[in-house]
Amino acid sequence: MRTLISLALVIIVPAVAGAEDGHAAWLRYAPLDGAARTRAAALVPDTVVTLGDAAPVLKARDELIRGIRGITGRDVRPADAMGNERTIVLGTAASFPAASVGYTIGQPLGRDGYAIESFRRGSAPPAVAIAGERDRAVLYGVFAYLRRLSLGQLTADLRERSEPAAPVRWLNHWENVDGTIERGYGGRSIFWEGGKVRDDLRLVDDYGRLLASLGINGLSINNVNANPVFLTREFLPQIARVAGVLRPWGVQVVLSVDFASPQKVGGLQTYDPLDPGVVDWWKKTIDTVYTSVPDLAGIVLKADSEGRVGPSAYKRTHADAANVIARALKPHGGVFCYRGFVYDHRMDWRNLENDRARAAYDNFKSLDGQFDDNVIIQIKHGPIDFQVREPASPLFGALQKTNEAIELQITQEYFGQGRHTVFLVPMWKETLDFDMQVKGPGTTVKQIVSGRTWGNPTGGFIGVSNVGRDPNWFGNHMSQANLYGFGRLAWNPDLTSKEIIDEWTRLTFGSDPRVVETVDALQLSSWRVFENYTGPLGLQTLTDIVGNHFGVSVEASERNGWGQWHRADEKGVGMDRTVATGTGYIKQYSPAVAKVYESVDATPDDLVLFLHHLPYTHKLRSGKTVVQFIYDSHYDGADAVAGWVRDWKTLEGRVDAERYAAILKQLEYQAGAAVVWRDAVARWFHRTSGIPDAAGRVGTYPGRMEAEAATLEGYVPAQVTPWEAGSGEGAVECKAQKCTATFRHSGQAGRYDVIVQYFDVNTGAARYSLRAGTAGRSASAAPDQSAASARQAQWTADDRFPTRRLDGASSTRFILPDVALKPGDSIVIEGTPDGAETAALDYVEIRKAGG
């Protein structure tokens, strides 16, 4: 990870001025270049007139002034009325006629729609109206106007009308009141700390602005694994404070609740949803919440899943549970989201008929028609749990009389947790565009959740965001594209991945064609690349399922009740979900879809092991055998990430220095991690199947010297768990004060990058020093002096990977670049442990410098 990026940075002065920490995300309003700026400046107004004084409209006015100033350098003046200057008029559709400015909306706008339209009053200069169906839609219109301006797409005659695909465009945040975030990778909560709301909510305000720019209109502020304290009277003022900050941005608060709240905080004996006392408690409690937060958008509930209690405790149905809360919300216009993520995590793995993928459908299908009209079933995009590749959840096609929302995970739980770049929009698009064929061909998931297929009006899009206090929100600049993409798709799911990333890249990094081309290509390929090195063919993410969900661990999913099984053994791999011989999951799809999935030959390779158990020697549609595909894809994936590092380096000086360096560091890490994944998965299948890699790569690592075979002073052998995450026979660790491992270069003389693969657990900060080359030759050269003379380096293993063990999550690398080595030269590593962190080493590998 620490590849001495600083070497290059001190030498080359970046051409782009101004450091950037990423906080502004896609709302940087960076100045356009030369001619584009002159063109844009000629089109923007001199004054802005605001109709009414609603907070979102005033925010819209301020944003317009700020954006135009940033992008074009022109100052727009607020004015009370239209005069003899070019003007933009902002207001709700209803406010225009009364203001007599010479513009009316004409055809009414639906939902949160907006119009941006040029008009002229008599001989006055041209004007533009930005009108919204409601206050917050004025903001949406202004952000759309500024997006056009930033992208150089503003024209003199504007005729844009836009309405979102669905009313629910919400985010869920899995935040705890102590400030931690479940599955959050961008730092601690922007809302909570130490059991209460934070004093300083400026980050919430900044976040509200980002969300408004995407048209997001609801936000749950606490974990779905909910703490019942949120429904106590004492806590309400804290929720009201957050709601007060988000309200001007048109973002309404949503609460997650604990289904046992009537008992836990209401003091009742029961939380049985059919008990009159419980019914009354929900009603009174929700009435009270609305006295503090009159525009609460709704409530979300996770019940009967992963240890959360639910209606099953009283043998009641999910509909009973949903309706009792929905009815309490109804008089206030609130919506109730019941999560479809209901499954038994204590399933018997020995029973080949058991299948977690069936759970959502099995739980909800028979209840269709029993949910009130303000209930939404919130369905994860696939039937398992945000794995690297899953088919569309069959539940989308199963409910006709029930509102549905799709749940997409923006936070990268199974996608490298902010340390890997993975643009998720192409994956989401695949689900949204998938034709469930439940009403003949043409019933895509996006149509169903938008309510168009069955005329259910209250559905939509819900993203699990989990941003934190990190300046760039996610801990990875590139991850911002996922929040951006979610918002854009929630507004318009017909946008393509290419359109979305192109907008994002230009808004985030500017329109330098080389930058746009490089970033777009990297992001657009990243899901496939990640899949290639973490779990191709529908195997799901081969990660530590029962632990950190981050490092590689091929068998972690097996022989436990969590049901993410791939059932690999020495003969074959994959879950048989067919109707003929398997779990029958495939029957949950429409006959047309089931027909494709039931046939091994018709099933797309991408999903084949999700749906079928196949011998390793089975020939796929691609013509490769299953096992060779697994080997090849892992090498392709790791090679692709190494290529991204090279590509990114070509942008030096074209991207501001701060983000350039941060992204280079992130990609360098990812390139190393992809090699760990590649070797682990390929070796696991190689050992298990006994089938050699046709290309001869698996098990043969040119230039690699295992630590356990080095000359060791103090270092002792250590086990890596799982075994496949350690190269060779395992690792070495230091249990003394200091230990040394000496490796000898036996290859040709030349210039090499020296890669040290070591383990960085989160219990300490072990130190390492490295000396490479013939003793006596400029041994004192510091690593940051120059690449050519760099032959010695020190580093500290203080990255906070989510593990205490020597495993796939802690395995990482240090690279000392461009070292001159000749046969017999030594590479000496000295490790100094820190408490339980034992300065462990896996191997040293040398590769041609710059390779």
Residues 6 or more apart from 24 whose CB is under 8 A from it? none
| Binding residues with ligand GCV: total (CB under 6 A) | 10
* Residues sharing a CB contact under 8 Å with residue 215, sequence separation 6 or more, in sequence order: 112, 140, 143, 164, 169, 487, 490, 491
Q: Given the complex with ligand GCV, which of 141 and 340 has the nearer CB atom?
A: 340
> Which is closer to ligand GCV, CB of 224 or CB of 731?
224
Residue recorded with tokens 């450091």: 19
**Nearest approach, Cβ of 261 to ligand GCV (angstroms)?**
17
Q: How far is the CB of 577 from ligand GCV (least distance, A)?
A: 20
Structure tokens at 522: 């990297």
Nearer to ligand GCV, 174 or 428 (CB): 174
Active site residue 20: no
Q: Which of residues 313-372 bind ligand GCV (CB under 6 A)?
A: 341
Closest C-alpha to 538, from 610, 587, 443: 610
Interatomic CA distance for residues 565 and 545, integer angstroms = 10
Indicate the residue type of 196: K
Residue whose entry in the numeric block shows the structure tokens 């980050």: 203
Q: How far is the CB of 302 from ligand GCV (least distance, A)?
A: 5
Q: Are 428 and 481 in contact (CB under 8 A)?
A: no
DSSP state string for 328-347: HHGGGT-EEEEES----TT-
Nearest residue (CB) to ligand GCV, 302 versus 686: 302
Q: Which residue, 225 or 740, has its beta carbon nearer to ligand GCV?
A: 225
Q: Is 77 left (phi over 0), alpha (psi -120 to 50) or beta?
A: beta
Q: How far is the CB of 410 from ligand GCV (least distance, A)?
A: 13
Taking CB under 6 A as the criterion, which residues in 690-749 touch ligand GCV? Answer: none
Binding to ligand GCV (CB under 6 A) within 765-804 occurs at none
| CB nearer ligand GCV, residue 453 or residue 466 | 466
Beta strand residue intervals within 55-203, DSSP E: 77-79, 87-92, 114-119, 127-132, 159-162, 168-172, 192-193, 196-197
Closest CA to 666 of 421, 415, 414: 421
Exactly one of 206, 258, 413, 503 is catalytic; name it: 413
Residue of 225, 492, 560, 763 interacting with ligand GCV (CB under 6 A): 225
| Residue 399-438 contact track with ligand GCV, rule CB under 6 A, x = bound | --------------x-------------------------
Say whether residue 191 binds ligand GCV (CB under 6 A): no
Contact 390, 540 (CB under 8 A): yes
298-301 and 335-339 strand pairing: parallel
**Rg of the chain on CA atoms, in Å:** 29
Pairing of strands 252-257, 766-773: unpaired
- Residue 248 or 475: which CB sits closer to ligand GCV? 475
183 binds ligand GCV (CB under 6 A): yes
Nearer to ligand GCV, 42 or 546 (CB): 546
Nearest distance from C-beta of residue 468 to ligand GCV, angstroms: 15
Rounded to 10 deg, the angle between the 425-432 and 480-491 helix axes is 30
Cα-Cα-Cα-Cα dihedral sign, residues 630, 635, 638, 640: negative
Query: Where does 544-607 show beta strands of DSSP type E?
Result: 572-573
- On whether the CB atoms of residues 215 and 112 are closer than 8 A, the answer is yes
Q: Is residue 105 classed as helix, strand or coil in its secondary structure?
A: coil
- Which residue, 138 or 219, has its beta carbon nearer to ligand GCV? 219
Q: How many residues does the chain have?
A: 851
Q: Which of 51, 197, 224, 586 binds ligand GCV (CB under 6 A)?
A: 224
Minimum gap (Å) between residue 781 Cβ and ligand GCV: 47
In angstroms, the Cα distances linking 770 to 113, 136, 430, 718, 745 are: 61, 58, 47, 20, 14
Minimum CB separation from ligand GCV for residue 245, in Å? 24
Measuring CA to CA, how many Å separate 592 from each of 392, 398, 437, 597, 678?
Answer: 14, 14, 7, 9, 36
CA distances (Å), 688 to each of 293, 554, 557, 570, 615, in order? 58, 11, 16, 5, 12
Give 133 or 413: the residue with its C-beta nearer to ligand GCV. 413
Q: Which of 182, 306, 372, 555 is catalytic?
A: 306
**In the window 273-312, what residues touch ligand GCV (CB under 6 A)?**
302, 306
Q: Residue 407 CB, nearest distance to ligand GCV (Å)?
A: 8
- 50 or 305, CB closer to ligand GCV? 305
Q: Is 413 a catalytic residue?
A: yes
The nearest distance, CB 174 to ligand GCV, in angstroms, is: 5
Q: What track of x and - describes contact with ligand GCV for positions 98 through 117 (by CB under 6 A)?
A: --------------------
CB atoms within 10 A of CB 232: 15
Of positions 206, 355, 385, 760, contacts ligand GCV by CB under 6 A: 385
Least distance (Å) between residue 225 CB and ligand GCV: 5
Is 306 a known active-site residue?
yes
Choosing from 20, 117, 385, 807, which is the catalytic residue? Answer: 385
CB count within 10 Å of CB 625 equals: 19
Of 174, 290, 597, 758, the one binding ligand GCV by CB under 6 A: 174
State in angstroms the smallest separation of the CB of 41 from ligand GCV. Answer: 48
User: What is the pairing mode between strands 168-172 and 460-464?
Assistant: parallel
Residue corresponding to tokens 């030096």 = 652
Helix (H) or strand (E) holding 830: strand 826-832
CA distance linking residue 831 with residue 734, whole number of Å: 7
| Amino acid letter, residue 457 | P
* 240 phi/psi in degrees, rounded to 5: -60, -35
**Binding ligand GCV by CB under 6 A: which of 85, 182, 344, 652?**
182
Q: Which helix (H) or strand (E) covers residue 758, if one does?
A: strand 750-759
CB of 386 or CB of 644, closer to ligand GCV: 386
CB of 804: closest distance to ligand GCV in angstroms? 19
Least gap, CB of 182 to ligand GCV (angstroms): 5
Cβ distance 3 to 668 under 8 Å?
Answer: yes
684 binds ligand GCV (CB under 6 A): no
Q: Which is it for strands 704-706 and 168-172: parallel, antiparallel or unpaired?
A: unpaired
Indicate the residue among 182 and 606 with the shorter CB distance to ligand GCV: 182
Q: Are 810 and 801 in contact (CB under 8 A)?
A: yes
d(CA 745, CA 625) in angstroms, rounded, equals 37
- Contacting residues toward ligand GCV, per CB under 6 A: 174, 182-183, 224-225, 302, 306, 341, 385, 413
Give the residue numbers annotated as catalytic, written as ranges: 306, 385, 413
